[in-house]
Structure 1
């Protein structure tokens, strides 16, 4: 922070770098990228910065954890062009993305709560020595058409095997679980391309119970992003005010 600096103070690149734990090359790179306003030059051609440059760097570094490097860069570039409204629009879009991510997490949590307990193979168990459910009984249980399950298969939501005697699709317990989860998410309005990576997370976690830890980590990351956005907003407001 540079609240004790006077506006007339001149800073060398190394001064600005040390205040923010950066290299002098990073400071120069940020200036060239438009993250910092253009520096003045001494008669010998050396860069000189001011506390306003330090404020710009404060704002950028505070925005990165919540909004990401690309958005933070675009925001500072817009401010330094004198386009504050464009900078605020970018901030709004980033907040909207966080809200969308939070709603997705809530939808997954609701879907998991609403899943019925596993019932094993149930009616329509496959023959050939291995348990599982055929497409018809599973579709009937979910209240959807068999063609919908085949569409989900093409989208990567379920991976049924083929019965060796009949050639029919057979859904094992994990497939039934994934189909139920997909059904809940579809009812919540999510698109197949949004559901596929969530189903993949369930599989990689090894089921629903291990997924609880994944969801808790996801929730913590969203909360951390939200708080980082608050910090970034405060620093950006300080920079905007001092520019004005």
Structure 2
């Protein structure tokens, strides 16, 4: 088929197709004696795969992946595709962590059982209110999750937790109870400190999770063509090895 047929089948412009061929996203087209390109169904599938891959991971990484899987060793090419799935899954996990933190904030803001009787609490009072050990609060402070104020006393310095620290300690307690690890909790608390409107942020995170799901499906659609490309490259490498192997 000629380039006009490919334009009709894929929706790409003729110039885009030439550019994608030139950058190695699709295989080099066969040339007729008159110089015109001749394409095949392989080119159509590759162009559709590139569109899905660009939706999933962005055009820059999509071009790199489409180009490199034709030249990388079999295992490395498979690993490259796997890394794209891992990246999307990591984005999803980060969004879920942030969402859990925001839900904890909303619950904390509307709870009828607020554990504060004043605008500040000692470490013992806060530990009892949250149902955690004082040693846990000390550890959270050590790793930068909460920041109580220190008040000078005759024997040294006492911790005093004001409203912001109490609120963050509540969120940490909720996340830890939900099975979140300290690095995940730290990421959530950092995100929370940068947020202002929780309801809008929840909507934005829901939209992000929906987008990640759509991008994951796009990556799965591209998967069949990517695996086919990797297998073809492996076969070509095998044939080349046979040709250069010395005969005894």
- Give the TM-score range, shorter chain: 0.5 to 0.7
Q: Does 1:180 align with 2:192?
A: no
The worse-fitting range, judged by mean Cα deviation, of 104-113 and 216-225 is 104-113
1:63 touches 1:232 (CA, 8 Å); kept in 2?
yes
Q: Does 1:193 align with 2:183?
A: yes
Q: Does 1:218 align with 2:211?
A: no
Partners of 1:234 and 1:193 in 2: CA distance: 33
The worse-fitting range, judged by mean Cα deviation, of 178-187 and 49-58 is 49-58
The CA deviation at 1:181 is 0.3
2:106 touches 2:198 (CA, 8 Å); kept in 1?
no
The worse-fitting range, judged by mean Cα deviation, of 214-223 and 54-63 is 54-63
The CA deviation at 1:19 is 2.4
Partners of 2:15 and 2:203 in 1: CA distance: 33
State the Cα deviation string for residues 185-231 of structure 1 (Å, max 9, x = none). Answer: 0111111111112112222224xxx2221121111011012123323
Higher RCO (C-alpha 8 Å, min separation 6): 2
Partners of 1:158 and 1:49 in 2: CA distance: 65
The CA deviation at 1:233 is 3.2
Q: Normalization by structure 2: what TM-score?
A: 0.64
Relative to structure 1, the CA distance from residue 203 to residue 86 in structure 2 (aligned partners, 3 Å threshold; closer, same or farther) is closer
The answer for the alignment partner of 2:218 in structure 1 is: 231
The answer for the alignment partner of 2:86 in structure 1 is: 93
Give the unaligned 5+ runs of structure 1.
1-5, 12-17, 126-130
Partners of 1:37 and 1:57 in 2: CA distance: 10
The CA deviation at 1:106 is 5.5
State the Cα deviation string for residues 117-168 of structure 1 (Å, max 9, x = none). Answer: 584852xx6xxxxx42121211121122222112212222112222256732
Relative to structure 1, the CA distance from residue 155 to residue 74 in structure 2 (aligned partners, 3 Å threshold; closer, same or farther) is farther
Partners of 1:28 and 1:74 in 2: CA distance: 13
Q: Normalization by structure 1: what TM-score?
A: 0.65
Relative to structure 1, the CA distance from residue 205 to residue 90 in structure 2 (aligned partners, 3 Å threshold; closer, same or farther) is closer
1:185 touches 1:195 (CA, 8 Å); kept in 2?
yes
Give the unaligned 5+ runs of structure 2.
5-10, 233-248
Q: How many residues align?
A: 219
Relative to structure 1, the CA distance from residue 174 to residue 22 in structure 2 (aligned partners, 3 Å threshold; closer, same or farther) is farther
The answer for the alignment partner of 2:7 in structure 1 is: none
**Which secondary structure state, in structure 2, belongs to the residue aligned with residue 181 of structure 1?**
helix
**Which secondary structure state, in structure 2, belongs to the residue aligned with residue 228 of structure 1?**
helix
The answer for the alignment partner of 2:139 in structure 1 is: 151
RMSD: 4.3
